[in-house]
Amino acid sequence: MNLSFVKLFSKRPASASRVPHAVSARRMLGAAALAVWALAAVPAHAQDPSPDSDDTSVTLPDPLGPATAEDQKSLPGVPLSSQIVFQVLAAEVALQRDQPAPAYQTYLALARDTHDPRMAQRATEIALAAQSPSDALAAAQLWQQYAPDSERAAQLDASLLVLSGKPDDAAPILARELARVPADNRGSAILALQLLLSRGPNRIGGLHVLQDLLKNDLNRPEAQLAIARQQLVSDDAPGARKSLEQALTLKPDYLPAALMLSQMGPEERKEGIASLEKYVQQNPKSHDARLALAQMYLASDRLDDAQKQFEIMHKNNATDLTPLMALALIKIQQKNFTDAQTYLTQYAQQAEKTPGADPGQAYIYLAQLSLEQKNEAAASDWLNKVSPASQQFVPAQITRAQLLAKQGKTEDARKLLANLQAPDPRDQALIARTDAAILFDAKRYPEAETRLQQATANFPDDPDLTYDYAMAAEKTGHYDVMEAQLRKLIQTQPDNPQAYNALGYSLADRNQRLSEADKLVEKASALAPNDAFIMDSVGWVKYRMGDTSDAIKLLRKAYDLQPNAEIGAHLGEVLWKTGAQDQARAAFRDARKLEPDNDTLVKTLQRLQVNDL
């Protein structure tokens, strides 16, 4: 059971506002441009995205929807002549015929003739739908000119200026909008402002604008964090470090700043932890500080230290759900399933009694523990406890489908998935991945590839789907598709070690472009030096390049870190080729004990004609 601890306690809202792919381009681009300002109406504690978060979406009304009462005040007293009616009808007919250019020009001309902001708004909508930001900017500026008090016009104008690489021109509007934010929400708005500026191509210009706008907010930790984030995207790492240190000076238990600092390098990680340790020593009753310190330990793979902090939290407050779940997950990581089950059961019992709490996640983990222990009946019982009202109902049904597949009921599992109603696009993507994984495990590789091809078309920005599609394409021999998907992943996630590893390993396994394969797996190793499977890839590339001595060392180390049949098969093959056949047989025997039907192991033994194990 692989569990992520860095994002251990991130709570997903019941209804996320990610944009479904059926939403029109107008709404999508409009929402992207304006989403930043919706944060001004959200409580500060609810909007503090971590630096590695991939979820920057927020719930907001359609920015180009019906006019507000304030907007109505800006309307001119222009009589609705037959000529205006004719021009509007002609523009709408052009749109129906998929001719946005003349429709845009007509509405723009009407806006200039009538000074009616609704005409400029409609021109803005058309330009956004046509994905023409420069035309949208021209229309939005006209809209703001004719409706100077319209917040929607100002916000869209500022956003488009930033996205067009003109943050300096947007600065006066941004300053005015920031001034309107209530004091209690200013910290969140500051972070949202930086998010907008980071989306523009002129990152350094955005940094200068941000620093100027926040010159009176430097005593806020959110301001220092926002500046640090913009400094980082502007390639000013030393400046980012200073800003993060200042944020922690202002608020020593400020987790977003501590986590971001820890991700900048080993020394910064030590510094962030030291700052929190000192604060916890001085404030031992601070729940938030101790939680922040525990998460920092988790991010640094210091499970024992994190466990101590969570144990103190649990001792201080036995009804606190956070340390119960944390301790359960740590015990799972340590393969202490008995203690993990105890903590999860306590969590579920307490959550059932706590208003607003959801025991569903605990029941899913308990089901997965039962599966680890080969108790499928108990797993099914735990899943039955997840109610349809739970946020975890869809994940529970996905786990049930995996259970059915494990029992050999592939079609029943797929039918269950097909009947799931999941409005959240993330759940839809997860259902697709699970369906493909079931096909993959059933060795129905072409069907799995087709399923993932459809899923990536529906969710092109989902990195997990992209990776799975690449792996399925490799299995069917479509190496061009595999490479294209992995390179797409590398481009969008340049710090994703698995993307480099998968491509490098595939090239080496086919004995192709070995020099390039070596660079790819070395890059993966630099990003994840303790990953046993990446270590296996590095060793396998060394073997393919003729360096059997280093290959054996790396493969032994990888196998010690993670006893795995495929790693064992690789180690056995290299030993066999070097003449150490007794050692090779021992490695093959150990691998076969772990997974006798492993595809790589079976094929290796057949190819080497090893029959005397």
Q: Is residue 284 part of a domain?
A: yes
At residue 22, the pLDDT reads 31
pLDDT digits (tens, 9 = 90+) for 405-442: 988 999 999 999 999 988 888 889 999 999 999 999 99
Contacts of 340 (CB under 8 A, 6+ apart): 328, 329, 331, 332, 365, 369
At residue 321, the pLDDT reads 93
Same domain, 211 and 284: no
Same domain, 103 and 232: yes
Residue 412: HSE in the Cβ half-sphere, 13 Å Cα cutoff: 10
pLDDT at 45 over 80: no
Q: Is the pTM above the cut of 0.75?
A: no
| Rounded Cα–Cα distance for residues 177 and 171 (Å) | 10
Mean pLDDT, the chain, rounded, equals: 83
Amino acid of residue 292: A
Q: Is residue 303 part of a domain?
A: yes
Same domain, 304 and 211: no
Q: Is residue 561 part of a domain?
A: no
Q: Is residue 411 part of a domain?
A: no
Cα dihedral 217, 219, 223, 224 sign: positive
At residue 57, the pLDDT reads 30
pLDDT digits (tens, 9 = 90+) for 238-254: 999 999 999 988 988 78
Contacts of 472 (CB under 8 A, 6+ apart): 436, 440, 445, 448, 449, 452
DSSP assignments along 400-413, one per residue = HHHHHHHTT-HHHH
Same domain, 323 and 312: no
Q: Which CATH number is 342's domain given? A: 1.25.40
Same domain, 242 and 138: yes
| 9 touches 320 (CB < 8 A) | no
**Residue 396: band (very low, low, confident or very high) from pLDDT cuts 50, 70, 90:** very high
Q: Which of 317, 336, 361 is the last residue of a domain?
A: 317
At residue 61, the pLDDT reads 32
Residue 421 token pair: 């109603």
Q: Is residue 341 part of a domain?
A: yes
Same domain, 312 and 381: no
Same domain, 267 and 323: no
At residue 521, the pLDDT reads 95
Q: Report how many domains make up the chain.
A: 4
pLDDT digits (tens, 9 = 90+) for 133-161: 778 778 878 888 888 877 777 777 788 88
| Rounded Cα–Cα distance for residues 432 and 559 (Å) | 32
pLDDT digits (tens, 9 = 90+) for 504-551: 999 999 999 999 999 999 999 998 888 999 999 999 999 999 999 999
| Rounded Cα–Cα distance for residues 313 and 465 (Å) | 37
pLDDT at 30 over 50: no
Span of 264-268, 304-308, 319-323, 449-453 with lowest mean pLDDT: 264-268
Q: What is the mean pLDDT of residues 395-401?
A: 92
Same domain, 304 and 373: no
pLDDT at 130 over 70: yes
pLDDT digits (tens, 9 = 90+) for 559-605: 999 899 999 999 999 999 999 999 999 999 999 999 998 989 999 99
**Residue 69: band (very low, low, confident or very high) from pLDDT cuts 50, 70, 90:** low
Same domain, 120 and 237: yes
At residue 140, the pLDDT reads 79
pLDDT at 495 over 60: yes
Torsion of CA 450, 451, 457, 460, to 10 degrees: -120
Picking from 289, 253, 258, the residue whose alpha carbon sits closest to that of residue 271 is: 258
Give the residue with greater pLDDT, 162 vs 218. Answer: 218
Report CA-CA distances (Å) from 311 to 255, 276, 322, 363: 19, 17, 11, 22
Same domain, 218 and 125: yes
Q: What is the mean pLDDT of residues 252-267?
A: 80
At residue 88, the pLDDT reads 81
Span of 61-65, 325-329, 445-449 with lowest mean pLDDT: 61-65
Q: Which CATH number is 165's domain given? A: 1.25.40.10
Classify residue 13 by its DSSP letter. P
Q: What is the mean pLDDT of residues 19-41?
A: 34
| Rounded Cα–Cα distance for residues 75 and 147 (Å) | 8
**C-beta atoms surrounding 357 within 10 Å:** 14
Contacts of 528 (CB under 8 A, 6+ apart): 497, 534
Q: Is residue 472 part of a domain?
A: yes
User: 235 — alpha (psi -120 to 50), left (phi > 0) or beta?
Assistant: left
At residue 238, the pLDDT reads 92
Residue-range definition of the domain harbouring residue 284: 252-317
Contacts of 344 (CB under 8 A, 6+ apart): 324, 325, 328, 362, 365, 366, 369
Q: Which of 216, 246, 276 is the last residue of a domain?
A: 246
Q: Is residue 152 part of a domain?
A: yes
**C-beta atoms surrounding 120 within 10 Å:** 27
Q: Is residue 596 part of a domain?
A: no
Q: Which of 461, 492, 523 is the last residue of a domain?
A: 492
* Number of residues written out for the chain: 613
Strand extents, DSSP E, 294-335: none
Residue 491 token pair: 């481009």
Same domain, 145 and 202: yes
| Rounded Cα–Cα distance for residues 49 and 40 (Å) | 14
Same domain, 265 and 198: no
pLDDT digits (tens, 9 = 90+) for 186-200: 998 899 889 888 888
